[in-house]
Amino acid sequence: MILAPRQCVFLTAAGCILLIVVTLYRYSPIASDRKPEQSASSSSPASPTRNASNSTLGVSLPFPIHKTCRYQPQDQFQAIFALSAGPSWRTRGLLAAANLTGLEITLPPQPPIPADLVTAFQALGDSVHPTRGASKAWLAHLDLIKHIHQSNLDTALILEDDVDWDRRLRAQTPLIAAAVRNLTHFSPTEDNNDAPYGRAWDLLWLGHCGEYWEEGIETVVFDDPTAIPHAQYSGWARGYLARLPDCRRAVYRSYNPVCSFAYALSRDGARKVLELVGGGGDEAFDIAVMHHCRAGRLECLSVVPEVVHQYFPAERFGVKSLVDVGNGEGDGSREEDFEAVMGSTENILESARCRALWRQTCLRE
């Protein structure tokens, strides 16, 4: 059938109108009674400390990460970095735990550390000097802190690559953030209320292998059902922990934290650490930082019991730390011999690493 010109015009116009209607329907928002799911990284104007439960634990992500994410500039430890010499059983377990708990962790390539630089660094200072392995680890920490400082991040969390944490970490960190704000007497204003942990600190020691405590230290204690009971705590600081209420967690000004499993730095904190310990001259990186914390040159806060600790491969394989390897002790067994065998983690009730890899807990007794 042949259509008259007027009919063609009418049908063409009708077709265009129909196409516009369909397009508008398809791409316009539709009202619904179903509310979108609230993600752990969503911000809450009423409670900035809730942002401490997001995928970077409240500490902005201008860097590539190991999972898909959205850049949210104001509600995070601006990034979580893992200090790592490269892919190994350490990083594979770390990323499995991160995937389980929804953390966004960046593993920046570690710059090469020349042997002559390690030798020269060992000799710095007057009396106390680090071992060769400790010197290499110290320089690696400094490289990563320089990266954070050059990136002008507001806050960043550094993890060593063999660490572990409780699978409920994102429920722990808002409690810690509130305690930090309380301890530092943080007064939120319209300009600074976007920082979950406040801004009155240089270094927040979340992961260590022990810390001192005594009466008279200003301390914020809070209920935390995920805190390790005193009877199950392992390590040299067990007697000091026993002075605090059982099955609760505390935040106070650092006095003697040892090991650098996990620590957060503020922008000023990163600069100060580089200035204060960039020239060596002590037993190890963590000991040097601890001495400056104790002297008040760094504003440091410790979380006790720690929420991040080192994971140990099964003891029978004799796996050495990278510091021990750097001191010439060898690395024990081959990775393929022990990586599939579950090890253990001290002071973490429900290990994220072991849950991710073996669907079990692995508290070291």
**pLDDT of res. 365:** 84
Helices (H), 184-284: 238-241, 267-277
188 three-class SS? coil
Task: Decide if 265 contacts 203 (C-beta within 8 A).
Answer: yes
Percent helix, percent strand, percent coil in the chain, to nearest 5: 35, 15, 50
251 three-class SS? strand
For the chain, what is the total number of helices (H) and then of strands (E)? 11, 11
What is the mean pLDDT of each successive set of 10 residues along the chain, which is 365 residues long? 42 44 34 29 50 60 35 57 95 98 96 96 94 96 97 96 97 96 88 85 98 96 97 97 97 97 97 98 97 98 98 92 72 87 98 98 94
**pLDDT of res. 77:** 83
**pLDDT of res. 164:** 98
DSSP label at residue 351: B
**pLDDT of res. 175:** 96
Q: How far apart are CA 155 and CA 189, in angstroms?
A: 18
**pLDDT of res. 78:** 86
Q: What are phi and psi of 269, to 5 degrees?
A: -60, -40
Q: How far apart are CA 131 and CA 34, in angstroms?
A: 60
**pLDDT of res. 187:** 85
Helices (H), the chain: 5-27, 89-101, 115-122, 132-150, 169-183, 238-241, 267-277, 285-294, 322-326, 335-338, 352-358
Tokens (6 digits) for 18: 């129909």
**pLDDT of res. 45:** 44
Q: Does the domain spanning 48-310 belong to CATH 3.90.550?
A: yes
Is the pTM value of this prediction over 0.75?
A: yes
* CA torsion through residues 257, 315, 351, 100, sign: positive
- Element housing 262 (H / E): strand 262-266
* Cα 282 to chain centroid, rounded: 25
**pLDDT of res. 60:** 45
**pLDDT of res. 290:** 98
310 three-class SS? strand
**pLDDT of res. 321:** 80
* Type of residue found at 352: A
Neighbouring-strand partners of residue 248: 223
**pLDDT of res. 305:** 98
